[in-house]
């Protein structure tokens, strides 16, 4: 009995001890750490995006580069702390092909676990095509969605020229080479209309496909019906499933917070530091200006043993001319010659990516650039990455490359030439000016603006144009490893989309700049684990250095086009940029050359 009593005492003591220690144990357990806040980042997509940052006498333009944008997006894509991104999409200036390249980058992010939200205060085709790449589209309650499809508008100047007593004496080589039509007709020819209609058809089909890709309940057929019903009020866009929510921005932020049970935060957007305008009335202000024009050079890291050279060609193609005002908005043979020469002579450069965004221009300048590409391709791989345009002269400078990459919406082809002159005699006489011309030589007045071509002059111009056209086609055939007849069948000035050009063999791959760099890495035999650099040629230099060098080269010679070059430096120049290549091309035609390889129109997304 005593042992039983002892056992009960021990059991009771153990029970009491257990009851006492249980709450103590619970208190001693470490508290659970609070869940980390879900980080959302605000990212603004607005402004003008181009391949290169344009430099002028007034400084760097307000354009932003695609590569810079893609680097920022890659940083967000690879940041594990970012749970979502709110894209505030505003007015955006971007071409068809570059928009498709940006859309591909957004698609890459969408494949991650990050939530992607598009916020629109309103917008048109470009804004919606980007928004459709997101998980959710939010539209401001009073916003308007201008999803209205595509249109082509071509100006014809014949009536205006007639009123001014100016006669356009033009010739074209190629059934579809329509560059002369705005000056010689008051409406499209059947060939021009056929080409433009089929071009627009393909771009429209691509647009509908991208809308359907981004919206689960919308097919291309339904997208076409919706576009035919646009534009839309915010309420209509929501009812038709074109957008997911109608909210003001602060309401969107509240929704994100509520959906995450208060465990979300939106990181403030990175505000770009704006430089203050220096006070030009003080010595310090003048020194600040010189510092801005000639910033200190950062120490560059030691380059890798293997490199890929990235060479940009953006703008109309013009002959070399002396100008004290350096700019990056046009293509001339001299700058590209130096870049290609450095690339092919540097053993560290294993491959070259030639990024082309040009509607063409001078036939002579195009051929000089083609020559540099061809010489480089003989030594190492050259891969062309076509941006928005690589047509006419833009295709000419591309066709010697071993591989050509284009976006589906790139405008390319347009293998053909045109030329001629404007007969100003009627206008001169109308305002009281007359000319007397004494000639020695049957064709001495071939370039005179005081009359049309004589029969023999016309024959010589046609002969020159036919020679240049045949040379264009033969070189394209050599580059594409095919025959004259096969290229001629798809040439004759016909403009194609990148998608069509791929089917016709004018380009090799569909993709953007990153695709071209990947191909260059492979063809340059750079292994995945190899360290390599991408170097941009020609190397960017401070404005002041370029200015002084240009002044030395000019040797006090004032170019005939100097007023136009100065005008191009004006801050308002970007407003005219859509028409600038046409203006510069025709000025070149009248002042320098008579045969042109240029696209006669622009495509703008609105």
The predicted structure's pLDDT at residue 546:
47
At residue 592, does pLDDT exceed 70? no
Which uninterrupted H or E stretch holds 25?
A: helix 2-28
Closest CA to 355 of 601, 55, 67: 67
3-state secondary structure at position 595: strand
Query: For residue range 274-289, what is the model confidence (pLDDT) as tens digits?
Result: 555 566 566 565 566 5
Percent of the chain residues topping a pLDDT of 70? 74
The predicted structure's pLDDT at residue 413:
94
Q: Residue 36 CB: number of other CB atoms within 10 A?
A: 10
DSSP 333-370: HHHHHHHHHHHHH-TTEEEEEEEEEE-EEEHHHHHHHH
Closest CA to 490 of 591, 413, 554, 409: 413
Cα(460)–Cα(442) distance, integer angstroms: 11
Question: Is 376 within 8 Å of 343 (Cβ atoms)?
Answer: yes
What predicted TM-score, i.e. pTM, was given to this entire model? 0.82
At residue 67, does pLDDT exceed 70? yes
The predicted structure's pLDDT at residue 416:
93
Query: For residue range 274-332, what is the model confidence (pLDDT) as tens digits?
Result: 555 566 566 565 566 556 555 555 555 556 789 999 999 998 888 886 554 445 578 89
Q: How far, in Å, are 431, 435, 436, 451 from residue 424 at the CA level?
A: 11, 11, 14, 7
Our measurement of the distance from residue 344's CA atom to the centroid of its chain's CA atoms, rounded to an integer in Å, reads 26
Question: Is 135 within 8 Å of 106 (Cβ atoms)?
Answer: no
Cα(117)–Cα(137) distance, integer angstroms: 6
Query: For residue range 487-509, what is the model confidence (pLDDT) as tens digits?
Result: 999 999 999 999 999 999 999 99
Of residues 528 and 119, more confidence is placed in: 119
At residue 352, does pLDDT exceed 80? yes
Domains annotated for the chain, with CATH where assigned, are: 38-148+230-267 (3.90.226.10), 303-420+456-598 (3.90.226.10)
At residue 559, does pLDDT exceed 70? no
Q: DSSP alpha helices (H): ranges in 112-189?
A: 125-131, 158-163, 181-184
The predicted structure's pLDDT at residue 59:
47
Cα(514)–Cα(509) distance, integer angstroms: 12
Question: Is 321 within 8 Å of 332 (Cβ atoms)?
Answer: yes
- Helix/strand/coil percentages in the chain, nearest 5: 45, 20, 35
The predicted structure's pLDDT at residue 157:
87
At residue 99, does pLDDT exceed 90? yes
| Mean predicted confidence (pLDDT) in 262-272 | 62
Query: For residue range 162-171, what is the model confidence (pLDDT) as tens digits?
Result: 999 999 998 8
Query: For residue range 382-392, what is the model confidence (pLDDT) as tens digits?
Result: 999 999 999 99
Query: For residue range 429-473, what is the model confidence (pLDDT) as tens digits?
Result: 999 999 999 999 999 999 898 999 999 999 999 999 999 999 999
Cα(528)–Cα(526) distance, integer angstroms: 7
Cα(425)–Cα(26) distance, integer angstroms: 103
Mean pLDDT over all residues of the chain? 82
Closest CA to 539 of 297, 197, 190: 297
Query: For residue range 214-247, what is the model confidence (pLDDT) as tens digits?
Result: 998 899 999 999 999 989 999 999 999 999 999 9
The predicted structure's pLDDT at residue 605:
57
The predicted structure's pLDDT at residue 271:
43
Going by pLDDT thresholds of 50, 70 and 90, the confidence category of residue 258 is confident
Cα(375)–Cα(542) distance, integer angstroms: 29
Of residues 261 and 247, more confidence is placed in: 247
The predicted structure's pLDDT at residue 589:
54
The pairs formed by 212-220 with CB atoms below 8 angstroms and a separation of 24 or more are 213/132, 214/131, 214/132, 214/133, 214/134, 215/132, 215/241, 215/242, 217/241, 218/242
The predicted structure's pLDDT at residue 517:
96
Going by pLDDT thresholds of 50, 70 and 90, the confidence category of residue 179 is confident
Output the six-digit token pair for 273.
């530091």
Cα(465)–Cα(594) distance, integer angstroms: 9
How far is the first Cα of the chain from the last one, in angstroms, to the nearest whole number?
100
Query: For residue range 18-44, what is the model confidence (pLDDT) as tens digits?
Result: 444 444 444 444 555 454 577 899 999
At residue 556, does pLDDT exceed 60? no
Going by pLDDT thresholds of 50, 70 and 90, the confidence category of residue 272 is very low
| Mean predicted confidence (pLDDT) in 134-152 | 93
Cα(539)–Cα(532) distance, integer angstroms: 17
Contacts of 160 (CB under 8 A, 6+ apart): none
At residue 197, does pLDDT exceed 60? yes
């Amino acid at each position: 009995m005593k042992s039983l009593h002892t056992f009960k005492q021990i059991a009771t003591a153990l029970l009491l001890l257990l009851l006492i220690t249980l709450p103590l144990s619970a208190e001693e357990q470490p508290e659970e750490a609070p869940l980390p806040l879900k980080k959302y980042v605000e990212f603004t997509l607005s402004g003008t995006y181009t391949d290169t940052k344009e430099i002028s006498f007034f400084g760097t333009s307000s354009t932003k580069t695609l590569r810079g944008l893609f680097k920022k997006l890659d940083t967000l894509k690879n940041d594990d702390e970012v749970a979502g991104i709110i894209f505030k999409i505003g007015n955006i200036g971007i071409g068809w092909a570059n928009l498709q390249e940006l859309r591909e980058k957004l698609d890459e992010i969408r494949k991650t676990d990050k939530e992607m939200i598009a916020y629109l205060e309103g917008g048109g085709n470009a804004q919606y095509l980007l928004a459709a790449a997101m998980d959710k589209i939010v539209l401001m309650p009073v916003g308007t969605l201008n999803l209205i499809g595509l249109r082509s508008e071509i100006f014809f100047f014949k009536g205006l020229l007639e009123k001014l007593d100016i006669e356009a004496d033009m010739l074209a080589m190629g059934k579809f080479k329509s560059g002369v039509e705005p000056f010689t007709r008051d409406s499209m020819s059947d060939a021009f209309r056929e080409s433009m209609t089929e071009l627009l058809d393909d771009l429209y089909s691509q647009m509908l496909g991208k809308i359907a890709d981004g919206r689960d309940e919308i097919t291309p057929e339904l997208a076409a019906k919706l576009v035919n019903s646009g534009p839309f009020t915010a309420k209509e866009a929501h009812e038709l499933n074109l957008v997911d929510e109608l909210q003001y921005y602060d309401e969107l932020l509240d929704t994100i917070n509520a959906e995450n049970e208060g465990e979300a935060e939106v990181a403030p957007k990175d505000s770009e530091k704006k430089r203050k305008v220096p006070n030009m009335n003080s010595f310090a202000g003048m020194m600040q200006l010189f510092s801005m024009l000639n910033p200190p050079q950062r120490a560059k890291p030691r380059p890798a043993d293997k490199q890929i050279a990235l060479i940009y060609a953006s703008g109309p193609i013009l002959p070399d001319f002396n100008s004290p005002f350096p700019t990056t908005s046009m293509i001339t043979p001299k700058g590209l010659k130096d870049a290609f020469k450095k690339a092919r002579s540097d053993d560290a450069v294993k491959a070259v990516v030639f990024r082309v965004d040009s509607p063409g221009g001078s036939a002579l300048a195009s051929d000089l650039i083609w020559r540099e590409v061809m010489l480089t391709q003989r030594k190492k791989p050259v891969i062309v990455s076509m941006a928005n345009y690589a047509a006419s002269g833009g295709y000419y400078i591309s066709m010697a490359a071993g591989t050509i990459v284009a976006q589906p919406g790139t405008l390319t082809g347009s293998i053909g030439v045109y030329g001629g002159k404007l007969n100003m005699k009627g206008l001169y006489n109308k305002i009281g000016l007359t000319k007397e011309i004494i000639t020695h030589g049957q064709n001495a007045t071939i370039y005179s603006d005081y009359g049309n071509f004589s029969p023999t002059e016309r024959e010589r111009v046609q002969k020159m144009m036919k020679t240049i056209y045949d040379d264009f086609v033969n070189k394209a055939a050599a580059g594409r490893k095919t025959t004259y007849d096969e290229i001629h069948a798809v040439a004759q000035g016909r403009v194609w989309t990148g998608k069509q050009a791929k089917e016709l063999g004018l380009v090799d791959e569909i993709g953007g700049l990153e695709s071209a760099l990947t191909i260059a890495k492979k063809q340059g035999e750079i292994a995945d684990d190899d360290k390599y650099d991408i170097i941009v040629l020609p190397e960017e230099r401070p404005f002041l250095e370029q200015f002084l060098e240009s002044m030395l080269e000019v040797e006090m010679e004032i170019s005939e086009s100097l007023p136009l070059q100065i005008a191009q430096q004006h801050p308002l120049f970007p407003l005219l940029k859509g028409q600038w290549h046409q203006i510069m091309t025709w000025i070149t035609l009248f002042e320098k050359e008579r045969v042109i390889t240029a696209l006669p129109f622009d495509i703008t997304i609105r």
